[in-house]
Structure 1
Amino acid sequence: MEFGGRADFRHAEILLEGKGLVKGDAEVHVFSSDWVRHQHDKQHTYDTVCLHVVMWNDNQREYIKNSHGQCIPQLTLTKYLDTELDDLVDVIDVESYLKGKKVNPGHCQTALDNQKADEKWLGSFLDFAGDERILQKAKRYERWVEKRPFEQVLYETIMESLGYKNNKEPFLTLASRLPLEDIRYLIPEDASVQRKKLAIQSLLLGAAGLLPQQGNAISSHDKETEEYISGVEDAWRELQKKTGRASMERKDWNYAGIRPANFPERRIAAIANILSECLSLSIFRHILSVLEKVEGCQEEQKIMKTLTEHIQSLFLDISDSYWSYHYTLQGKKLTKPVKLLGKERVSHIFINVIIPILLVYARRHNNTKLEKILHLTYRNYTPLPGTSVTKFMSSRIFGQPDAQKKLITSARRQQGLYQIFKDFCENDNMSCNRCALYLSIVKR
């Protein structure tokens, strides 16, 4: 990708209907009118552009023209989107994009070096930015809740989060194809927890298209694996007759660049274990029941601690007789059990999924006490391990990655870094002059 006075993508090869293979450059804008607004129609360096890609065609034209008056075809992306834009943004793997990227100091860093803002003020700014990030997530889930119950929304968003960056969409698709209501209908409520685990695993693995009988041949396996496969496949044969839904395929799942401990099968085993423990109530109602137990308690710190510990217990204290000791159906048995979910992933789910969804619930039910507890929990939750984004932002704002330790003392402030990055630093290299952080510093 180019930065400067040339097209965004050089030497592109594009197959156009009626023209065949066309070679040239591609220019990308948010609006189609940006071509003229940026005066590319008068710049000879843009005469090599063969395709103009835009999100919105605000001037309703099929073509734009270069400095010679030649027509250049225009591709409008919104015509092909079948998902809300906010949802697509959440799927973008920003961290991979930032790896190895040179970090240029922002204008905010210079202003801070000139002591135009103290640590207390900057901390408050990051707090507000962190609140905005949670509110935006809540706004996204608010749209989901308008179409389906809270229980299903929480189930879908947890599944999406289990997919991490590589398999978000497949896990979300799986949750949509096999909704919580269907799982609850298909699994007998009076079945033992162990039977529920196996049945839910067979349902999810079968719906995901990851069972050996679905064309995923296994060359060799031990007796324990043979017994496990026999159990889930027998259960799937019976349950599949009742689902009446088409399964996904193995090719829908991404295994590249994923640690074996995080393979889809193990993530599915994790959610199956969690669901088996609280299937009659659902995960959402299970969490609410914990809050109801301490409803009479006036000590907010105690309520906050109870909520946090319960979430961690629900997601971390899970084990599986097979998947805790295996990465794949073909691999050797591990000598020691490996957790199905790590503490970092659970914290991510708590901050980015559970808190914003509970916030939507609290506001819809005018539950100010719950909203206050959520804010207190968010404000005091310790930061998650650093990512490419937080390290990038720390270098851009403070000058060095370690400088964030003094100020980034909570998950709330860490989320504030993400929000500033998303709103300004991610957009383009000229965004500093429009950055709310920089403008707020210089106006002090």
Structure 2
Amino acid sequence: LLFGTAGFLETPDLDIYKKSAREYVRQLWDRWWPHRDDLQRLILPAKAWHISGTRPVNHPQRRLAALAVLAREWSRLQRASGKSSVAAADDFFQTLEHPFWNFHYTLTSEASPKEMALIGEARVADILANVLFPFWAAHDIEAPASPSTQLWTEYAKLPTQLSNRRLETAATRLFGNDPRRKELLRTVAHQQGLLQIYEDFCMQDSSDCAQCPFPEQMAKWV
């Protein structure tokens, strides 16, 4: 249903698919076809997807496949996340697998000779930082005992995986060519702090730093 409503099963001709993909696509079609007419209004148009410039491992079809596998393994995810443990979460994500998507970028791509993680390290770090750690922290606050410092210790150790344009812009504005720049961006906590500064100050400043209130604010904190 996910692939159907996403608009990825609009071509019933199996000849356009590689031989290694036809059986899998046929299975998707067999499950989708009985519901297609009823869900026609929900099918996304092709123009809804902006794929240009997307890294192959981040193709929407792979992301959708990962979502489907997560739904299938939901009870395991609940058990893993309930342990408030980075190691348990990592173990869960590393064991996620799919016989087709571990070796394909898209439904129409050639099979890769090398196995690929369904959810890569960078995405796992994002999930930990933006989903699981906030969930664990909220649960910790509601616990009868005082909040544990262990969560912060674990969070502070999360290494960065990828950068993006907003991070690079903020880092350039704040650190320039300072040799400490790399050190200040080596953890997820550092990156998220920098993103918060970017949202609170850079996005509100149209003077290209000339009239930015951040230095003045920093002077009050020091």
Indicate the TM-score class for this superposition, using the shorter chain for normalisation. Answer: 0.7 to 0.9
Aligned equivalents of 1:369, 1:268: Cα separation in 2: 39
**Which residue of 165, 170, 175 maps to 1:393?**
170
**Which residue of 54, 71, 82 maps to 1:289?**
82
In the alignment, structure 1 segments of 5+ residues that lack a partner are: 1-202, 292-306
Tell me how far 1:442 sits from its aligned partner: 6.8
Aligned equivalents of 2:221, 2:107: Cα separation in 1: 60
Q: CA contact under 8 A between 1:394 and 1:403: conserved in structure 2? A: no
Tell me how far 1:325 sits from its aligned partner: 1.7
Query: Which is richer in strand?
Result: 1
Tell me how far 1:317 sits from its aligned partner: 2.8
Tell me how far 1:351 sits from its aligned partner: 0.7
Aligned equivalents of 2:185, 2:201: Cα separation in 1: 19
Q: CA contact under 8 A between 2:81 and 2:132: conserved in structure 1? A: no
1:347 pairs with 2:145: no
1:428 pairs with 2:205: yes
1:273 pairs with 2:69: yes
Q: Trace 1:3-402 onto structure 2 (pairs within 5 A).
A: 203-211=1-9, 214-215=10-11, 219-237=15-33, 240=35, 246-251=41-46, 252-278=48-74, 281=75, 283=77, 285-291=78-84, 307-363=85-141, 365-366=142-143, 372-400=149-177, 402=179
Amino acid at match of 1:204: L
Write the deviation string for residues 305-326 of structure 1: whole angstroms up to 9, x where unpaired.
xx11222222233222112222
Tell me how far 1:217 sits from its aligned partner: 5.2
Amino acid at match of 1:439: Q
Amino acid at match of 1:415: Q
Write the deviation string for residues 194-217 of structure 1: whole angstroms up to 9, x where unpaired.
xxxxxxxxx321232312xx3475
Tell me how far 1:406 sits from its aligned partner: 3.4
Max Rg structure: 1
Aligned equivalents of 1:401, 1:390: Cα separation in 2: 15
Q: Tell me the number of residue pairs that the alignment of Structure 1 and Structure 2 aligns.
A: 219
Larger RCO (alpha carbons 8 Å, 6+ apart):
1
Aligned equivalents of 1:266, 1:277: Cα separation in 2: 16
Aligned equivalents of 2:87, 2:124: Cα separation in 1: 11
Amino acid at match of 1:227: E
Q: CA contact under 8 A between 1:219 and 1:330: conserved in structure 2? A: no
% identity of equivalent residues = 25
Q: Alpha carbons of 1:323 and 1:358: their partners in 2 closer, same or farther (altered >3 Å)?
A: same
> Could you tell me which residue of structure 2 aligns to residue 52 of structure 1?
none
Amino acid at match of 1:208: A
Tell me how far 1:248 sits from its aligned partner: 2.2
Q: Alpha carbons of 1:373 and 1:237: their partners in 2 closer, same or farther (altered >3 Å)?
A: farther
Aligned equivalents of 2:87, 2:221: Cα separation in 1: 42
The CA RMSD measured in Å over matched residues stands at: 3.1
Tell me how far 1:375 sits from its aligned partner: 2.2
* Secondary structure of 2:115 counterpart: coil
Q: Alpha carbons of 1:369 and 1:311: their partners in 2 closer, same or farther (altered >3 Å)?
A: farther
Q: CA contact under 8 A between 2:125 and 2:158: conserved in structure 1? A: no
TM-score, reference length from structure 2: 0.80
TM-score, reference length from structure 1: 0.43
1:416 pairs with 2:193: yes
Tell me how far 1:337 sits from its aligned partner: 1.9
